[in-house]
Structure 1
């Protein structure tokens, strides 16, 4: 499984200088650099990000790539099921639980490892074309998903999903993740593109014993636990009556003692929010999926006011139905502003930070989501050759960010580098053949949905 990049030829290929009229490092000050430079070292990490006038000299062997437009860190997708591309659109217009039990879970029961592998290249391609370089994935057949992602070139935090099913016990699934991490390490692949995590689906689909055992395994390995939390009001009222709330149960089982990512986190009390904040739990806010499935609107302003680490996610391509984090930025802003009746409840700058630095923080990662020195050189180039930048780049910072986040979004993404390696050039993937990827997804969709009669 492990793919190590240590050869001199590859390292030489990673080093480069990217020069653009505007660079947004997503640093703590949210700097807007005019005439900026991003230097990538031989390992694929950022060695310098700042004004070109202050940039250190580079060796003659290092190529200088001069770009028109904006450079910024690759977006960090905090909650995804990207291999679900074969199920896109299946069972639409249903609430979450009927959608899962009547359509998705029966289809996934027919899923083969080859189907999970087939779904990921198309999902990876879509994310890269939208400027997403990292995604926190929860799905079955984790090794197949990882293999496909390595070919596409994107960065993945892989949390193999498990449930309490008679034919698929959680103990075996948990042991398999333990074994995988112990064999390959927590992170591996070129530029540490793969990080292994634990994916207990939810508190309502697993017994308390499984959550406690997951906490123990993850703590022993320093691994992230990725779990759905309080997504709908209909989630097992009996569980809430016994434990008080889903976050309280997660705390009682020890899951909050380690790295924890709570996906959705819609139905939370003030006590729940304090628990998340006090225990440094990351939250993946998924406004598009939550709205489509009528699951509710998360209390984003309250979460942010409590200093909870919040990133953005789309959920799966079958429940959203896209993998566009720019759209999630806009939805997050609109829902937060509408709820608070305040146009400053979430600004374009804050939304962009949630999709970069904030998403990385929610995952417990400080080496992605920013272009600060030492971080992996996950970089996207946004073109300004479109109507959304008709006024050009020589405008106030506020207007520049508004044009980028509200206007251009995914449409402007042209080029993408992951750990210094270019994986998207002028919107074209260098690792995924689109026609073949669509054909494979079509075949898998026909297989997985063949038994659906409801």
Structure 2
């Protein structure tokens, strides 16, 4: 059975960021896109097909490339502290009180929040793997989950880093890299950071990930104070990773570095040579006064880039559109160039390029064969006054519209958001469950 979505405008998010007028999108029975283009060129539909005529525009689901979504239950705690104090004095003690049901509650609410902003995929680093995946399947979104691997004080309650590593490998070997309806769940590896693991852990994790074609996702050079010892010995964390064999030019694997703020030219060249992608998180970096990543230097060097919100306890919101706008403004301030990171650039970083950075060529664009992760945005809003101008339409969407205009969302062809409300879970109940967890944490 085929479902056809029709709208006045389609934004397929091809590399030229083209605008298709009077477009249709056909979704096959397996949840993948069968056809996308102008109605005038669309193939004939079988008699059993369903057609939905929509207003506004359609675009691919956004990709949040770095997040800790279950931390919705910790939102607002320690909000005026620098990173290391925020982690050690507030976050880690609070997280020690979380159990699997708490994590599930936080993840369900976060999935709802992201879907309401048109974010269909998030790259997560967190613990209690079963709770996170159960929440994602309940809400109907999509996750690339890299369970945390850490050896920091207090985290031994979850086992040694070797045990954490072995558990991830065992899960992938048992269930495959991707599983669930519409391949909604992908597993990878989440070594937290160079400063929270012994040096031998990093190449060990990298090798397990390479063997399985899995993503290795870690925090890298977020602040100047976190990795003093590593920089003293190796010069920088990227150089440390290369020296230890965690990065190999002959077998690069899939590596995603979150933040990547404090890098010099040699570090950037090293990331490019080893094909390491960067998840740029301007919101949390700004709030924690961590600095601004050298985005334009990374782009010029050919480092794959994506955008991330980071966790809702550090950047507060999970609306990737807001972080895309901030990324553009910071890039323009840093360069003095008002054309740096255009609206089209920011849209592609949030969709097609973000998906490519995490090694997913089946997401991030409205193209045949990719999963039908689709977002319907209303243009009945003051943000859109001239719908006939292609460039202006994309600019208005990114700079003035965004998440607040999302009306409907499909993931693998299944409608998971209708008229701004989730179809699979009750938003009121999700909020109540997360509030109960937050209240208990603050009272303990």
TM-score (norm 2): 0.96
* C-alpha separation in 2, matches of 1:70 and 1:89: 34
Instruction: Give the aligned partner of residue 3 of structure 1.
Output: none
Residue in structure 2 matching 1:414, options 391, 398, 407: 407
Instruction: Give the aligned partner of residue 373 of structure 2.
Output: 378
Residue in structure 1 matching 2:215, options 224, 232, 237: 224
Instruction: Give the aligned partner of residue 91 of structure 1.
Output: 78
Asked if structure 1 preserves the Cα contact closer than 8 Å seen for 2:56 and 2:377, the reply is: yes
* C-alpha separation in 2, matches of 1:361 and 1:287: 20
Are residues 1:425 and 2:412 paired? no
Q: Which secondary structure state, in structure 2, belongs to the residue aligned with residue 136 of structure 1? A: strand
Cα distance per residue 1:149-169 (max 9 Å; x no partner): 001000100111121144431
Asked if structure 1 preserves the Cα contact closer than 8 Å seen for 2:111 and 2:136, the reply is: yes
Instruction: Give the aligned partner of residue 124 of structure 1.
Output: 111
Aligned residues: 436
Are residues 1:329 and 2:324 paired? yes
* C-alpha separation in 1, matches of 2:425 and 2:279: 27
Residue in structure 2 matching 1:174, options 141, 165, 168: 165
* C-alpha separation in 2, matches of 1:450 and 1:140: 23
* C-alpha separation in 2, matches of 1:53 and 1:236: 57
Instruction: Give the aligned partner of residue 283 of structure 1.
Output: 278
Asked if structure 2 preserves the Cα contact closer than 8 Å seen for 1:122 and 1:434, the reply is: yes
Cα distance per residue 1:194-247 (max 9 Å; x no partner): 000101110110011111110121112111011000000111211111111111
Q: Which secondary structure state, in structure 1, belongs to the residue aligned with residue 146 of structure 2? A: strand
Cα distance per residue 1:432-453 (max 9 Å; x no partner): 21111111112222333444xx
Residue in structure 2 matching 1:146, options 117, 130, 133: 133
* C-alpha separation in 1, matches of 2:18 and 2:427: 36
* C-alpha separation in 2, matches of 1:310 and 1:191: 25
Instruction: Give the aligned partner of residue 6 of structure 1.
Output: none
Are residues 1:107 and 2:98 paired? no
Instruction: Give the aligned partner of residue 8 of structure 1.
Output: none
- In structure 2, the gaps of 5 or more residues are none
Instruction: Give the aligned partner of residue 428 of structure 2.
Output: 435
Residue in structure 2 matching 1:45, options 32, 56, 61: 32
1:110, distance to aligned residue in structure 2 (A)? 1.2
Are residues 1:259 and 2:254 paired? yes
Asked if structure 2 preserves the Cα contact closer than 8 Å seen for 1:229 and 1:264, the reply is: yes
Q: Which secondary structure state, in structure 2, belongs to the residue aligned with residue 225 of structure 1? A: strand
1:361, distance to aligned residue in structure 2 (A)? 1.2
* C-alpha separation in 1, matches of 2:284 and 2:379: 29
Structural RMSD (CA): 1.1
1:249, distance to aligned residue in structure 2 (A)? 1.7
* C-alpha separation in 1, matches of 2:114 and 2:162: 32
Cα distance per residue 1:305-349 (max 9 Å; x no partner): 111110100000000100010001110110000000001111000
* C-alpha separation in 1, matches of 2:383 and 2:206: 47
Asked if structure 1 preserves the Cα contact closer than 8 Å seen for 2:202 and 2:241, the reply is: yes
Asked if structure 2 preserves the Cα contact closer than 8 Å seen for 1:108 and 1:448, the reply is: no
Structure 2 matches for 1:8-407, cutoff 5 A? Answer: 12=1, 15-165=2-152, 166-167=156-157, 168-256=159-247, 257-391=252-386, 393-394=387-388, 396-407=389-400
Q: Which secondary structure state, in structure 2, belongs to the residue aligned with residue 389 of structure 1? A: coil
* C-alpha separation in 1, matches of 2:305 and 2:443: 38
Q: Which secondary structure state, in structure 2, belongs to the residue aligned with residue 215 of structure 1? A: helix
TM-score (norm 1): 0.94
* C-alpha separation in 2, matches of 1:90 and 1:431: 29
* C-alpha separation in 2, matches of 1:21 and 1:372: 18
Residue 450 to residue 250, structure 1, CA distance change in 2 (3 Å)? farther
Asked if structure 2 preserves the Cα contact closer than 8 Å seen for 1:215 and 1:253, the reply is: no
1:47, distance to aligned residue in structure 2 (A)? 1.2
Residue in structure 2 matching 1:448, options 427, 441, 444: 441
* C-alpha separation in 2, matches of 1:70 and 1:289: 30
* C-alpha separation in 1, matches of 2:441 and 2:46: 53
* C-alpha separation in 2, matches of 1:432 and 1:95: 35
Asked if structure 1 preserves the Cα contact closer than 8 Å seen for 2:227 and 2:237, the reply is: no
* C-alpha separation in 2, matches of 1:217 and 1:115: 30
1:92, distance to aligned residue in structure 2 (A)? 0.7
Asked if structure 1 preserves the Cα contact closer than 8 Å seen for 2:33 and 2:371, the reply is: yes
Q: Which secondary structure state, in structure 2, belongs to the residue aligned with residue 255 of structure 1? A: coil
* C-alpha separation in 2, matches of 1:449 and 1:139: 21
1:179, distance to aligned residue in structure 2 (A)? 1.0
Cα distance per residue 1:1-36 (max 9 Å; x no partner): xxxxxxxxxxx4xx3111111101011222111111
